[in-house]
A and B are shown apart, each in its own frame.
Chain A
Amino acid sequence: SQTIHQWPATLVQPVGSPLSLECTVEGTSNPNLYWYRQAAGRGLQLLFYSVGIGQISSEVPQNLSASRPQDRQFILSSKKLLLSDSGFYLCAWSDRGLEAFFGQGTRLTVV
């Protein structure tokens, strides 16, 4: 069966520090991969998605970037965090279908 791993579960980072969140999927090949953010009291905002290695689509211009160095690995990064980057970050995958399956999420607090 397919599983998705996302870490860390919580993270507190100072303003201006770098960020790296990692997500890996097991049990499937060539999945679509997604990064979402849920800001406090708001819905799920799609940040990036990838349909293959090295292919990244950005949905919202911002202080973040994404990379897919391997088929089942998706990384969310920032060179310098802002206070507004705080939120709950979710990685998800889909098997070319429409149902997306989510990881457990990372609570990021920028202080």
Chain B
Amino acid sequence: DQQVKQNSPSLSVQEGRISILNCDYTNSMFDYFLWYKKYPAEGPTFLISISSIKDKNEDGRFTVFLNKSAKHLSLHIVPSQPGDSAVYFCAAAIQGAQKLVFGQGTRLTINP
């Protein structure tokens, strides 16, 4: 049972434009959400998170939006840069449960 889903395996965006990565979840108990970025042959690195009491969190070029009624979150990167090319994972957690559930990942390619 895939509780966290990233339905787009890949996304290609032109440099300078906005990248929008999407993530859906099924477990209504999730109350904390995170995005990670992963380069090949490296471990994922934490990007940004959002608690379910908020609907938006912004950090520089990265903004995460949460729509609880739709059980959907998205990561916006603007403007997109070549160094943003990587696999992006969304993750969800129930605070206090001590573990994260990850989606399948979306490979983002930024074209010059």
Q: How many residues of A contact B (CB 8 A)?
A: 28
Q: Which B residues are within 8 Å of any A CB, using their own CB?
A: 6, 9, 32, 34, 41-46, 49, 89, 91, 93, 95, 98-105
- For the complex, is A104 an interface residue (Cβ under 8 Å from B)? yes
Residue of A nearest to B104 (CB): A43
- 11 CB-based A-B contacts, threshold 8 Å: A32-B99, A43-B105, A44-B91, A44-B105, A46-B99, A49-B99, A98-B93, A98-B100, A102-B43, A104-B42, A105-B43
Given A90-B43, A105-B41, A49-B98 contact (CB < 8 Å): yes
Which residue of chain B lies nearest to A43 when distances are taken between CB atoms in the complex?
B104
Q: CA separation between A100 and B38, bound complex, in Å?
A: 13
Chain A 1-45 residues near chain B, CB threshold 8 A: 6, 9, 32, 34, 36, 41-45
Q: Which chain B residue lies CB-closest to A4? A: B43
Residue-by-residue, is A78-92 near B (CB-CB < 8 Å gives 1, otherwise 0)? 000000000010101
Given contacts A92-B43, A98-B32, contact A32 B98 (CB under 8 A): yes
Residues of A within 8 A of B34 (CB): 98-99
Residues of A that sit less than 8 Å from B by CB: 6, 9, 32, 34, 36, 41-46, 49, 51, 59, 88, 90, 92, 94, 96, 98-105, 107
- Tell me whether B89 and A43 are in contact (CB under 8 A): yes
